[in-house]
Amino acid sequence: MCAMRRDHLTSRGAATKAKLIEAAADLMLMHGVAATTLDEIRVRSGTSKSQLYWHFPDKRALVLEVAQYRVRQVLHREQIPLARLASVSGLEQWKDHVVARCGAPGGVYGCVLGSMATELSEQDEDVRAVLKHAFAAWRELISEGLSRMRAAGVLRADADPDRLATLVIAALQGGHVLAQVQQDTSPIDHALTEAIEHVKSYELTAPPSA
């Protein structure tokens, strides 16, 4: 039989595969996908070259799995604060976490999904499809939170959760781009603050007693 990847990995194999994906993900975030060599991945993961080709048919497949890993990571992390979103101040807390992570030491100011999206959208349809769904799901998390707020009477009926969520995600992504280029979190902070200010303008204030 010619060597074929197994559908079932032992725990050791799974651990190695995970190490490879994590090492690749880190390097690709720091240096970009194209600039990350398989050799660097091998060194950082503490494994050897052939393991890459045991677990992945080629670099492209590895990149796809890195994208999927990042998507799981981001959506899982975002689900926690966003699924219980019920007020504007909840959104502000979420913003603070985003900004803190953006400027975290060792980080790189860019968004792990946004950087891959920009670099790979034109070259790899599979990665683009994965990221497209990820951004849709992310936006949906925010949109649903805003819908709940509207239903609860926190926001006015004319607030459009989908469009507001699009603004928030765009402000986050654009804020990352600007933060990366000026190596400073203030753009993402200000952009998200203003976006949330816009959401606030739909807040239903206690109607004047009349």
User: Rule CB under 8 A: which residues touch its own copies?
Assistant: 30-32, 34-35, 108-110, 114-115, 117-119, 121-123, 128, 131-132, 135-136, 162-164, 166-167, 169-178, 180-183, 187-188, 190-191, 193-195, 197-198, 201
54, interface contact from its own copies, DNA, none, CB < 5-8 Å by kind: DNA
Please report the DSSP string for the chain in residue order: ------SS--HHHHHHHHHHHHHHHHHHHHH-STT--HHHHHHHHT--HHHHHHH-SSHHHHHHHHHHHHHHHHHHHHHHHHTT--SHHHHHHHHHHHHHHHT-TT--SS-HHHHHHHHHTTT-HHHHHHHHHHHHHHHHHHHHHHHHHHHTTSB-TT--HHHHHHHHHHHHHHHHHHHHHHT-SHHHHHHHHHHHHHHHTTB-PPPPP-
Give the one entry of its own copies, DNA, none that residue 75 binds, where binding means its C-beta sits below a cut-off of 5 to 8 angstroms depending on kind.
none
Does position 209 bind DNA by CB under 7 A?
no
- Is residue 52 classed exposed, middle or buried when 0-12, 13-18 and 19+ CB atoms within 10 A define those classes? buried
Q: Contacting DNA (CB under 7 A), which of 22, 30, 44, 51?
A: 51
| Residue 87 binds which of its own copies, DNA, none (CB < 5-8 A, kind-dependent) | none
156 binds DNA (CB under 7 A): no
Q: Which is nearer to DNA, 53 or 101 (CB)?
A: 53
Residue with smaller CB distance to its own copies, 35 or 104: 35
Answer yes or no whether residue 9 interacts with DNA by CB under 7 A.
yes
Binding region for DNA (CB under 7 A) out of 1-9, 101-109, 158-166, 173-181: 1-9
Residue 39 binding: pick among its own copies, DNA, none (C-beta 5-8 Å cut-off by kind): DNA
Angle at which helix 112-120 crosses helix 125-151, to 10 degrees, equals 140
Q: What is the largest CA-CA distance in the chain?
A: 83
DSSP state of 68: H
Answer for which of 22, 30, 32, 53 binds DNA (CB under 7 A) is 53
Q: How far is the CB of 171 from its own copies (least distance, A)?
A: 5
Of 21 and 67, nearer to its own copies (C-beta) is 67
Interaction site with DNA (CB under 7 A): 6, 8-13, 16, 36-39, 47-55, 58-60
